[in-house]
Amino acid sequence: MFGLAPDTILIKGPRIIDPGRGVDEVGDILIRDGVILASGTISPDDIPEDCRVVEAGGLVASPGFIDIHCHLREPGYEYKETIAAGTRAAARGGFTSICCMPNTDPPIDNSAMVEFIRQRARDEGIVRVFPIGCVTKGRKGKELSEMEELAVAGVVAFSDDGDPVEDPNLMRLALTYSSDLGLPVTNHCQDLSLSRNGVMAEGRVATRLGLPGIPSAVEEAMMARDIALAELTGGRIHLAHLSTAGSVPLVRQARERGIPVTAEVCPHHLTITDEWVLGGQATGTGTGESFAYDTLTKVYPPLRGQQDVNALVQGLAEGVIDCIATDHAPHELISKLVTYQDAPSGISALETALGSALQLVHGGHMSLITLVERMTVGPARVLGASFDHLSTLAPGTTADIVIFDPDLEWVVDPNEFQSMGKNTPLQGATLKGQVVATMVQGRFVYQDGAVV
């Protein structure tokens, strides 16, 4: 798939962060044939003379990031993103493994579709791609998909993505039926009868702008239902993109009661609020260069308030929330040049995820090793034991590695994105922390600002 690395590579002198082994130390990483030979303090005697040396002093090296929730749009929406472009974006963002949602056209609800995605990824992808299969046929919420066939074909989870499984009985059956397959069911928790025509978080900003609001209870009500169903069935539920303060204690309580629940949160829900819909100008929405109703801020679940952000950051720091997932949702820009109500939801997030997430470290909310854990070991834990070897730097494991500079400041310019989706509210924002190189199976796929 990625070819064998032709030589031996020494990543020299980085701060090695390997959360799975509790490692945070300066050292070297030696790689041969796509496998990590050694990491940490390596005796010069053990380093072959002909090895290629990559100077990484002052940088951080960690297992490559794993994104368990992104949208690659292929097939059906190749004008928004392709597997080729999406995996390049992932490489630029430091991700070595990504899981793509099945809301394609046709949806990923049978083994032929799974094979199509995997074949495309082998032919054109530059990082590992793991498809997520539908919970129900055609994502219609009526009948279960052939989950075992999907599992055998290689899906790593089940989800109907943006169309939550509304029927509680069907969700119960999905969790029960899938319980012997060892794969989680991921639900996008949104009670549609309560969210109605809402397009942003309910609250002061929505009311001021006259935009239909989505109350927090939309997420919490369905999440509580799913947790109860997980308890009832023993099936594994994974809760996608938490966005409300009230969701965090729901997950915490479920964990304390031993219910098999995992949860993720997106970089944007950890860092920006619904105030951004005002155009960054809370007093006067039509002055200057800044305009309200920036459709680039439209995303489901919606951006919420500062107290929600604070609770999610704390939940992530404490490990109640297992991991960061990007929910990378690329769109062609023209589709966003409409009214807020007409605009599609979603943020192109693979390439800004690290810079956004590092704000939590720079802001003193968590240590760097904790953040890296939430982007490597955390998502691997959600997916199961087969991902253990992709989330560690232990000798003998696959050399999927990211090297990044946590302190490098850069201005987000979507024109530099590898993703076809240039839709980000962070356009023009300064982020601190950028990927320097990404290695998949011992081979650099991104290095020195360019896809290799």
Partner 1 sequence: MSLLNAIETEAQPQIEAAAVRKRRRHVLDLDDFSQQEILEVLESAEGMSEVLHRDIKKVPALRGRVVVTLFYEASTRTRISFEEAGKILSADVINMSASGSSTEKGESLLNTGLTIQAMGVDIIVIRHPHSGAPYLLAQHLDRVGIINAGDGIHAHPTQALLDLYTVKEKLGRLEGLKIVIVGDVLHSRVARSNIWGFVKMGAQVILCGPSTLLPLDMLRPSGNDDQDNPLASVQVETNLDRALEGADVVMALRLQAERQNGGFLPSMREYIRRWQVTEARLSRANPDALVMHPGPMNEGIEISSTLAHGGRSVIEQQVTNGVAIRMALLYHLSAGGE
**Among all residues, which ones are annotated catalytic?**
327
Structure tokens at 229: 């169903």
How far is the C-alpha of 93 from the C-alpha of 299, rounded, in Å? 20
Closest C-alpha to 79, from 294, 295, 347, 334 = 334
**How far apart are CB 197 and partner 1 at their closest, in Å?**
11
How far is the C-alpha of 402 from the C-alpha of 416, rounded, in Å? 19
Give the chain's length: 452
Binding partner 1 (rule: CB under 8 A), the pick from 1, 4, 337, 452 is 337
Does residue 415 interact with partner 1 by CB under 8 A?
no
User: 161 vs 202, which CB is nearer to partner 1?
Assistant: 202
244-253 burial string, b = 16+ CB within 10 Å, else e? bbbbbebbbe
Binding partner 1 (rule: CB under 8 A), the pick from 65, 177, 276, 293 is 293
User: 133 vs 203, which CB is nearer to partner 1?
Assistant: 203
Q: Which stretch binds partner 1 (CB under 8 A): 95-103, 221-229, 234-242, 331-339?
A: 331-339
How far is the C-alpha of 147 from the C-alpha of 353, rounded, in Å? 31
How far is the C-alpha of 193 from the C-alpha of 152, rounded, in Å? 35
How far is the C-alpha of 432 from the C-alpha of 359, rounded, in Å? 7
Q: Which stretch binds partner 1 (CB under 8 A): 244-252, 289-297, 361-369, 370-378?
A: 289-297
If binding means CB under 8 A, how many residues of this protein chain bind partner 1? 28
**How far apart are CB 47 and partner 1 at their closest, in Å?**
54
How far is the C-alpha of 375 from the C-alpha of 402, rounded, in Å? 11
Does residue 192 interact with partner 1 by CB under 8 A?
no
How far is the C-alpha of 321 from the C-alpha of 157, rounded, in Å? 18
User: Tell me, what DSSP letter sits at residue 136?
Assistant: B
**How far apart are CB 283 and partner 1 at their closest, in Å?**
7
User: 260 vs 414, which CB is nearer to partner 1?
Assistant: 414
Does residue 53 interact with partner 1 by CB under 8 A?
no
Backbone angles phi, psi at 134, to 5 degrees: -70, 150
Edge-to-edge order in the sheet of strand 185-187: 158-159, 185-187, 237-239, 261-265, 323-324
**Interacting positions 269-288 with partner 1 (CB under 8 A):** 275, 282-287
> Hunting for tokens 């002055």 — which residue is that?
287
Does residue 338 interact with partner 1 by CB under 8 A?
yes
**How far apart are CB 307 and partner 1 at their closest, in Å?**
8
How far is the C-alpha of 347 from the C-alpha of 412, rounded, in Å? 13
**How far apart are CB 295 and partner 1 at their closest, in Å?**
8
Does residue 305 interact with partner 1 by CB under 8 A?
yes
Does residue 246 interact with partner 1 by CB under 8 A?
no
Q: What is the DSSP string of 263-320?
A: EEE-HHHHH--GGGGGTS-SS-SSSTT--S--GGG--SSPP--HHHHHHHHHHHHHTS
Binding partner 1 (rule: CB under 8 A), the pick from 292, 354, 390, 420 is 292
Q: What is the distance of C-alpha 165 from the center of its chain?
A: 21
Does residue 386 interact with partner 1 by CB under 8 A?
no
Does residue 322 interact with partner 1 by CB under 8 A?
no
User: 103 vs 216, which CB is nearer to partner 1?
Assistant: 216
User: 286 vs 364, which CB is nearer to partner 1?
Assistant: 286
What mask, x for binding partner 1 by CB under 8 A, covers residues 201 to 230?
A: -xxx-xxxxxx-x-----------------
What mask, x for binding partner 1 by CB under 8 A, covers residues 345 to 384?
A: ----------------------------------------
**How far apart are CB 290 and partner 1 at their closest, in Å?**
9
**How far apart are CB 293 and partner 1 at their closest, in Å?**
3
Q: Where do contacts with partner 1 occur on this chain (CB under 8 A)?
A: 202-204, 206-211, 213, 275, 282-287, 291-293, 305-306, 337-342
